[in-house]
Structure 1
């Protein structure tokens, strides 16, 4: 199956370069279009329905985080490619639903690898940034009520397996549960809605603070 990739950056030269990088991986990957502002990005995501969207956080003065939050319930997996060194902005992007963050200065092979991993359902964060984000999410969860109180026993089992295999692709987690990958995605969407989490990393942080009973 071809991984369909959209590129969102306010510099046309950047989108041009990434489109050509992704095109070198055809037919395994394929660029489906580029956008340079929020309005154009919304049209692109609505019309093209990409599997993965490479997105900069600074879109000509607007925030790419707004776009990530807007499409958090869609199947699109956002991978942040940024030149910003603001760790708070990077953390906020993951809280909003981004599946990974890496620098625009990364080697092309690493960017391709990150697209592959994010498409497979994994998170793409370095160890230090993962630790910082989990600590931040744990602090936020301290004043929250039990986020797992409304889950069914089966949903709690799904959460437990997802946490045990944190970072693994959805396919592997579904195999451990004996269900299909689409069934797992639907179940996780319900779990996210009930717990207030946006992704598996946030579920992990909530479970550290509120162990399931």
Structure 2
């Protein structure tokens, strides 16, 4: 692993403290996934926003970076194709996890998560998945509904859910637990291209612009 390297093979940008512990964690993670360590969050966000060669995951140490001050930059970075943002060392009892999700955070790793669980989650993110508990997704979806509430919302969503096929409901349920298209294909014994087709139809039916919004919708309505 080389600090602040930007070779095309890299997919995970770890933003953390310039400490031995951070370097050791990055080195260990790089045994499974290509990683570069950055101590300057703004620099890493700029680099990732300019990349156009595949999925990049920003893995931000929430105990090091003041996330609130970066939310606008994170949202801008997430607009770039193939850029996903996740937080690590999150306090499991923090009240702002729901807000992070509604601002586009695709993964949450808690202070007490095992290393193996982090590796599994980062791999899911690199594969285009979501790594957020269904409970947190539900809380975010309910919170968003309360903020934009109107009298027909629940009825409308119920009608939409009824229009989803059994297979589409299976797929959106798997999206809610962070499954990638390949994992969905393997579980349902269908091809990845078939999964892509189903996901596209789901987006159209529920009016979701991306996978995160589909997961939020699914957590609330299925």
Q: What TM-score do you get using the length of structure 2 for normalisation?
A: 0.64
CA distances 1:89-143 after superposition (whole Å, capped 9, x unpaired): 2111211222221124432222112112223343323454344334434434532
* CA–CA distance in structure 2, aligned partners of residues 93 and 132 of structure 1: 11
Contact 1:3–1:119 under 8 Å retained in 2: no
Q: What TM-score do you get using the length of structure 1 for normalisation?
A: 0.66
* CA–CA distance in structure 2, aligned partners of residues 185 and 98 of structure 1: 24
* CA–CA distance in structure 2, aligned partners of residues 169 and 21 of structure 1: 24
User: Is 1:169–2:180 an aligned residue pair?
Assistant: yes
**Larger deviation, residues 180-189 vs 196-205:** 180-189
* Equivalent residue runs for 1:125-204 within 5 Å: 125-126=132-133, 128-140=135-147, 142-143=149-150, 160=169, 162-165=171-174, 166-167=176-177, 168-173=179-184, 180=193, 187=200, 191=204, 194-195=207-208, 198-204=212-218
CA distances 1:13-44 after superposition (whole Å, capped 9, x unpaired): 2642332122222xxx111342423x212223
Q: 1:83 to 1:190 in 2, by over 3 A?
A: closer
* CA–CA distance in structure 2, aligned partners of residues 181 and 69 of structure 1: 30
Structure 1 residue runs of 5 or longer lacking an equivalent are 209-213
Figure out how many residues of one structure are paired with residues of the other and give that number. Answer: 198
Partner of 1:46: 49
* CA–CA distance in structure 1, aligned partners of residues 184 and 214 of structure 2: 12
Q: 1:85 to 1:91 in 2, by over 3 A?
A: same
Structure 2 residue runs of 5 or longer lacking an equivalent are 1-8
Q: CA RMSD in A?
A: 4.1
Partner of 2:36: 32
